[in-house]
Chain A
Amino acid sequence: MELNKLTLIESFEGLRDKKFSSLEITKDCFKQIKKFDDKVKAYITLNEDGALVKAKEVDKKIKSGESISPLAGIPVIVKDLFCTAGLKTTGASKILENYIPPFDATAVAKLKNEDAVILGKVNCDEFAMGGSTENSGFFPTHNPWDLERVPGGSSGGSAAALSADMGIYALGTDTGGSIREPASFCGTSGIKVSYGRVSRYGVLAMTSSLDTIGTFGKTVEDIAVILKYMAGRDEKDSTTLDVPVDNYSEEIKKDIKGLKVGLPKEYFVDGMDESVRDAVLGAAKKLEEMGAEVIDINLPHTDLAVAAYYIICPCEVSSNMARFDGIKYGFSQRDKNKDLLDIYLDSRANGFGAEVKRRIMIGTYALSAGYYDAYYKKAMQIRTLVRQDFDEAFKDVDVILTPVAPTPAYKLGEKIGDPLKMYLEDVFTIPASLAGICGLVVPAGLANNLPVGIQLLGKRFDEKTVLRAGHQYQLVTDWHKQRPKL
């Protein structure tokens, strides 16, 4: 049996009932990585020695009859944006190519606290800037369903590694769609939490007012287990709120009879792939059969969200990237005869990739003297309108059902030359980011052997309801059980 193919809950039950050991699951994951990762190219750094030591430690605990956490001994894939103490953390950027942080991100520390086994660090767009993982400073990741296609991004390594069974679940981040789009492209489930639900401490910052930390799972049931451990207030991140964390695993068991599902007409645009439309409308029909009530709704400012986002994001990027100066940590271009300014200029010129520089430039321009009102302030006002759209809609519905991306996974190289075209891929994921609400993606179709996901958006801090709808949907469908043929 290939234990790497198990879900989190199956792994936990097997460990608890002593059917197999953590060492066996962990070894099977590395076997799979060694077999296929030269094609998929998801991993930047493997943590093989550390993972095997941890697995043996957990096995000893189980043998001695200690009660274990549902995450104990189970191998997790970590996006290379999360700081991991003693384990290289690059953000897929050359400027951090050899950076080994001396501390853990809170999300990582929380999982370690439950005895999770960290397999390694996976690829993403540099500092999470991009939607295809082609912007990695090292190499692009390939979609396990079709190696000529992108896995989506920025958390493309997480989604690709998980769908190729190179781990049991995965951590990712989502600022404008970076968990949801790759989940859809790779056929996994994935949640973007409400802003402030999970601590961002120790995760390389991109757009601080929008960045969220989330997780990918083979099932929604798995995500419900993981999120319970990740969510909650953290003193080290003052944007986390002291709102009680729901018992997601219990909440998702409730049926969805009478659940009100909104279908926004603005999310069905020209140029959208037929397979995407079919997946969403098919899911709407399914939810109706399950007792939900599908209601047409309006989110009138949807069309403005992308433009507002691509002002807010680069502005905050330009400020967050200022910390990379070749002085405190990371790559530094030094030369005896050069002064401090040269170190800044050369380290940044040679350390950052094209998309990072592009966003720093846009942000610096938009924030420079005389332009603040026309760009950043305007974008923040549009953000208010987008947020109010959702507030209005959620007076009538419990969740909102939408597509994730206009098409299934596209080919490597297809859009990378045209930044604006790439930005427009985020049209269905960005509005929820601006509003700070939560969103779950679940697989809901296959088009020419490529997965297509649907997005279920929920109110702020109402993760339990989107998880419930997603889990109930997975109880009566098989899309999430499809795997790529490697």
Chain B
Amino acid sequence: MKLSIQEVEHIAELARLRLTEAEKEKYSEQLSNILGYFEKLQSVDTSDVEPTSQVTGLTNIMREDAVIESGISDELVACSPEHSEGYVKIPKIFENK
């Protein structure tokens, strides 16, 4: 199967990636090859096979719902590109009316 440039653009938009024209060309070809390789899985009948999403056998690991101080909250916020008074700063997303 061949992935069109329009499809590549649609996926890039979903994935929040800005692609150059050259990248679109390249990914259209490379992704088509890779998706083509996946076709071999369709030859196997898996209608009765349970999917494996993980192998631990664990479910719902709970801990007490209690506040634990990380001790590094200021440092974590300080990792953000823009911050002020313990908050992460982002551009305005609503217009003032």
Contact = CB atoms under 8 A, between A and B. Distances in A.
Q: Which of B3, B35, B63 has the most CB of A within 10 A?
A: B35
Contacts of B52: 380-381, 383-384, 387, 434
Contacts of B3: 365
A326 B81 contact: yes
A379 B90 contact: no
Interface of A: 99-103, 195-196, 209, 235, 238-239, 241, 303-304, 307-308, 310-311, 318, 322, 325-332, 334, 338-341, 343-346, 348-349, 352, 357-358, 360-362, 364-365, 368, 374-375, 377-385, 387, 419-420, 423, 434-436, 460
B16 interface: yes
Given A307-B40, A340-B90, A419-B30, A361 B51 contact: no
Contact of B55 (A195, A322, A343): A195
In order of increasing CB-CB distance, the 10 nearest A-B pairs are A436-B55, A380-B51, A102-B75, A332-B81, A238-B61, A381-B46, A345-B18, A329-B79, A349-B18, A364-B15
Given A241-B58, A332-B81, A378-B46, A311 B38 contact: yes
B33 interface: yes
Contacts of B25: none
B11 A364 contact: yes
Contacts of B15: 318, 360-361, 364
B39 to A, nearest CB: 8
Contacts of A434: 52
B44 A304 contact: yes
Interface residues on B, range: 35 or more
Given A307-B40, A362-B31, 8 more contacts: A209-B55, A239-B54, A303-B40, A307-B37, A340-B93, A348-B17, A361-B12, A362-B34
A345 B52 CA distance: 33
Contacts of A346: 18
B66 interface: no
B1 to A, nearest CB: 11
Nearest to A357: B17
Contacts of A368: 11, 14
17 contacts: A102-B79, A241-B58, A311-B41, A327-B80, A327-B88, A328-B79, A329-B79, A330-B81, A340-B91, A341-B16, A348-B16, A360-B17, A364-B14, A365-B3, A381-B49, A385-B49, A460-B55
Task: Provide the main secondary structure of the chain A interface.
Answer: helix
Given A238-B61, A334-B81, A349 B27 contact: no
A102 B73 CA distance: 9
Contacts of B16: 322, 325, 341, 344-345, 348
A239 B56 contact: yes
A327 B90 CA distance: 7
Nearest to A424: B37
Nearest to A314: B34
A340 B92 CA distance: 8
Contacts of A460: 55
B70 to A, nearest CB: 8
